Structure 1
Amino acid sequence: MKSEIISLQEVTFTYTEEEKNIRPAVDNVSFTIYEGEWVAIVGHNGSGKSTLARLMNGLLFPQKGTVRIFGETLNEQNLWETRSQMGMVFQNPDNQFVGATVQDDVAFALENNGIPFEEMVERVQQSIEKVNMSSFMNSEPHHLSGGQKQRVAIAGAIALQPRILLLDEATSMLDPQGREEVLSIVRKLREETDLTVISITHDLEEALLADRIIMMNQGEKYAVGSPEEIFLRGQELVDLGLDLPFAMNVSRLLRDQGIELVAEHMSEEELVNDLWTSHFNK
């Protein structure tokens, strides 16, 4: 059985009155994430998912409950050691860039962590190669497309050889092509390593890639399950301010038009195969 890598036990966090939050942003939330899992944390704006991200990476500490990372309670004493094993990619990659070129930017965190120069050069090259950005080594990050920028941000994160990759709305500012570029890189990294991925997102297409989904609503853990288990709630998700995956929405529209389908489809490929087999390949 996989070992526990992150565990929240009865965690509560409330912002101050000045920040105009009259209820806990996270209210008595407990869950465990295991090594090698891809877990998506989803919810509408204000559901508490971004606060959970800050609690897991130590930008915030809970007022009640405990956050355990790698088996130890997260605190100010072990915060920096813990963060050195956690790669983070945020919503806006421009806010993360500090280097004049792609390779300088990827090397920045390694320099801060005192990695020897020869090893640093090797790690930078390997990480940039893994995200298919080798031809942009000497390019200025701000001249890249949105998807390319996020790939560089991922390269900087994985250069540290982390055990956890935390994506905090990392695809929300990207167009469909950029989003697919980034998610395909993450899928490939998981195939090659035992990397644990935590995806904080409101994009249910992204959540489909996860092993498990933790659904938040008004600061509370609302549901936990596989993507199939969560999405089969259908209209319940829509009523909570979330959209359904594209294939599910199309499936519903087709049924409304009297077109029978074999099942409720999560992916476009499943839907196309159903339509082809049931209605066109006769």
Structure 2
Amino acid sequence: MNGSILSFDQVTFTYMPEDESVKPAVSDLSFSIKEGEWVALVGHNGSGKSTIAKLMNGLLFPQQGTVQAMGLDMSEESLWDIRSQMGMVFQNPDNQFVGATVQDDVAFALENNGIPHDEMVVRVRESLQQVKMEEYLDHEPHHLSGGQKQRVAIAGALALRPRLLILDEATSMLDPQGRREVIETIRELREATGLTVLSITHDLEEAALADRILVMNKGQKQMEGTPDSVFSAGDELTEMGLDLPFAMRMAGLLQQAGVPVTGESMTEHELVEELWTYYSSK
């Protein structure tokens, strides 16, 4: 797994290892993420996603196997060096705000890391521009929408200039509009900067934009591949409690009604384009 920005090698973690009746939360898990990739880690509640998130930022350490990040083995000695190169955005945006204004909030982590004031001003503005929130510098965070709050949280992570941005169920508490805002922000960031992104999510609409998807089930990696290859196992995914993207479910219903669509469209836009192309050629 050399050359990876983050890797798990045969990692197992059990919350009560002394109790043989307790099954591992994560069992014999191996995967790696390369610089510049967008990888989505998906699974239903209880699949092991939360434990994996804690293992990758050093809140937990495996009983078996190794976690490596930024070329270092995860340990108490390397923990802070590794964390300084990671940006994390969590589930509830309201729990992440500590500043009286948007710019105060984005600056908070920079102050804690001893960034000089002049440099801090530049980073705050640049990161807010990256998420299209520069007009809200002096706004109070509690007046923002859910999607806007999450974009500010992303700006706070970007201001630290991380090598890896981790989104831990970052869209799960947002309404559809807020979810679209955040996903579009990440997509544009990737295109503009080549940022390495790990999305931990149960939302396959979000996962559809990733380069690669890892599917977790009962603490084990069930499958891995491109969105196309993973979504081709439609019935298997639904049996694990995961909903296929809306466009794929709608395509299935259209096929049942006799409409000749391929069923491969992963976004509403792609499905509309396919339908338009079909009917305009008749």
Q: Could you tell me the TM-score, scaled by structure 1's length? A: 0.95
SS where residue 214 of structure 1 aligns? strand
State the alpha-carbon separation in 2 of the partners of residues 93 and 261 from structure 1. Answer: 39
Looking at structure 2, the residues matched to 194 and 281 of structure 1 have their Cα atoms a distance apart, in angstroms, of 38
- Distance in structure 2 (CA, Å) of the matches to 1:276 and 1:126: 40
Which position in structure 1 is the counterpart of 2:83? 83
Residue 137, structure 1, aligned to residue 147, structure 2:
no
Runs in 1 of length 4+ with deviation above 6 angstroms? none
List per-residue Cα deviations over 1:121-166 (Å, max 9, x = no partner).
1111111121111221111112211001001100000000000000
Aligned-partner Cα distance in 2 for 1:212–1:246: 19
Residue 128 of structure 2 corresponds to 128
Which structure 1 segments of 5+ residues have no match? none
Q: How does 1:1-282 map to 2 (within 5 A)?
A: 3-16=3-16, 22-282=22-282
CA positional deviation for 1:58? 1.1
**Bigger Cα displacement from structure 2, 124-133 vs 159-168:** 124-133
Residue range with higher mean Cα deviation, 97-106 or 272-281: 272-281
Shift of 1:104: 0.6
> How many residues were matched structurally?
280
- Say what the alpha-carbon RMSD is for the aligned residues: 1.7
Q: Which amino acid aligns with 1:47?
A: S
Letter matched to residue 6 of structure 1: L
The alpha-carbon deviation at position 281 of structure 1 amounts to 3.8
The alpha-carbon deviation at position 269 of structure 1 amounts to: 2.1
Name the SS for the 1:23 alignment partner.
Answer: coil
Identity %: 65
Secondary structure, aligned partner of 2:274: helix
Q: CA deviation at 1:183?
A: 1.2
Give the partner amino acid of 1:148: Q
SS in 2 for 1:258: coil
CA distance in 1, matches of 2:159, 2:103: 11
Which SS does the other structure have where 1:52 is aligned?
A: helix
Confirm or deny: 8 A CA contact 2:72 2:82 kept in the other structure: no
Mapped to 1, the partners of 2:165 and 2:7 lie a distance apart of: 15
Which letter does structure 2 place at the counterpart of 1:224?
E
State how far apart, in whole Å, the 1-side matches of 2:63 and 2:241 are.
Answer: 28
What's the CA shift string for 1:76-110, capped at 9, x where partnerless? 11111111110000000111111111111100100
